[in-house]
Amino acid sequence: MPTGPGEILELIRLGRASTRGDVLEITGLSRMTVAQRLDALLGAGMVVEGETGEATGGRRRRSLVFNSSQAHVLVAAVDTTHTRIAVTDLGGRIVADTEIDVPVQAGPSVVLDQIATAMTALLDKHDVAVGDLCGAGLSLPGPVDPESGRPSQPPILPGWDAYPVVEHLQATLPGVPVLTANDADAAALGEYAAGHAGVRSLVLVKVSTGIGTGLVIDGRLYTGADGGAGDIGHVRVAPGSDAVCQCGMQGCLAALASGRALAAELTSLGFPATSGHEVGELLRAGNADAARLAQRAGRHIGEVMATVVCLLNPEVVLIGGALASAPLLAGIRETLYRSALPRATRHLQLQLGTLAENAAVVGLTRLVVDHEFAPDQVNRRLRA
């Protein structure tokens, strides 16, 4: 393996090496070379030394730790009716956060202007300079083209197709790299980073106003040829149904089982709701109709997830988003296990995500840090 300082930093950052001895063993480099590369990383403040409890020959061995307080990341997780904005350290710990109510229906220019204003206010309030940011991330409830970083024909974001999101935000954040991601992808990466870093494959199903999934395979997001991987909300599950989806088609999974569909049904039952967020509030308040409808939605989602599970045979499937709840999980469990091959579910962990609304925030931080501290980037910066 190529083993410049950047590659060694990655071993430390991902928890594969925590002492000089580990680095020597994994890289096979000489003691002198490892010392030089670590000096460069320590000198740049990318790595810090701590004490380990173990003593060998009367000397304490120093541990090596990625310095997650060397810079900050600014993130915005956009949902259909509101956006969560946070400043985090490089490990995804939230330093400051705020939420703004702004419907994506208002269009990209209006929404991004409001996000930029709230970002500036949050940075000012907590005394974080734009120069202290190593990057920024923004997630959207729709497919994002991996090459351009622009929304790619998002069914529930009218007017956002191919909008230059990054360029828009860069005006407020001069010199700061801005990355974009689909919201379910960001949430999947966040849950992976926070609690499942050992697994080879993880799927997160986000059920909010819309429905989408994020896939993490071998520690990386899998987004597909044009960012559409995991966009299961518009799979036609009931071709004869007259339920019209926001995408304009009939019988989509989202037309039957999304927060938007449930909000309409709950409204007709006398419990007004307009978004997944509000359906989630009814669920948390113990509304029996919301629970019943969430379980039924789960059954529809489980049918589609059975195909996903048979295709990918993941170790972990997590349920996230505003509708994540015991009834939704019970419905998914019911049909997924009935429809999928036993072999595909034998070792499957199917459970609720643990980060709730913070999943996308933590995932966006990880996305930015993976990008800004990739071995090539680090090697280039240390040579400069």
Residues that bind Zn ion (CB under 5 A): 234, 245, 247, 249, 252
CB of 219 to Zn ion, least distance (A): 31
Residue 146: strand, helix, or coil: coil
Radius of gyration for the alpha carbons in the chain, expressed in angstroms and rounded: 22
Question: If we measure between CA atoms, which residue out of 314, 352, 312, 347 comes closest to residue 332?
Answer: 352
CB of 103 to Zn ion, least distance (A): 19
Q: What is the DSSP letter of 249?
A: -
Return the number of the residue (110 or 249) whose C-beta is nearest Zn ion.
249
CB of 246 to Zn ion, least distance (A): 6
Question: If we measure between CA atoms, which residue out of 201, 208, 209 comes closest to residue 317?
Answer: 201
Return the number of the residue (128 or 249) whose C-beta is nearest Zn ion.
249
Residue 261: strand, helix, or coil: helix
CB of 274 to Zn ion, least distance (A): 18
Return the number of the residue (199 or 249) whose C-beta is nearest Zn ion.
249
CB of 235 to Zn ion, least distance (A): 9
CB of 68 to Zn ion, least distance (A): 40
CB of 247 to Zn ion, least distance (A): 3
How many angstroms separate the CA atoms of 83 and 104, rounded?
9
Return the number of the residue (249 or 374) whose C-beta is nearest Zn ion.
249
Return the number of the residue (186 or 237) whose C-beta is nearest Zn ion.
237
Strands 178-182 and 133-140: parallel
Return the number of the residue (90 or 253) whose C-beta is nearest Zn ion.
253
Return the number of the residue (238 or 247) whose C-beta is nearest Zn ion.
247
Cα atoms in the Cβ-side hemisphere of radius 13 Å centred on 203: 24
How many angstroms separate the CA atoms of 333 and 318, rounded?
11
Return the number of the residue (240 or 342) whose C-beta is nearest Zn ion.
240
Return the number of the residue (245 or 308) whose C-beta is nearest Zn ion.
245
CB of 112 to Zn ion, least distance (A): 25
The span from the first CA to the last CA of the chain, in angstroms, equals 23
Question: If we measure between CA atoms, which residue out of 383, 306, 384 comes closest to residue 350?
Answer: 306
Residue 353: strand, helix, or coil: coil
CB of 205 to Zn ion, least distance (A): 16
Residue 83: strand, helix, or coil: strand
Question: If we measure between CA atoms, which residue out of 182, 165, 163, 185 comes closest to residue 173?
Answer: 165
Q: Are 195 and 208 in contact (CB under 8 A)?
A: no
Instruction: Provide the token pair at 217.
Output: 């395979």
Q: Are 256 and 243 in contact (CB under 8 A)?
A: yes
- Nearby residues of 43 by Cβ (< 8 Å), 6 or more positions away: none
Burial class (CB in 10 A: 0-12, 13-18, 19+), 31: exposed
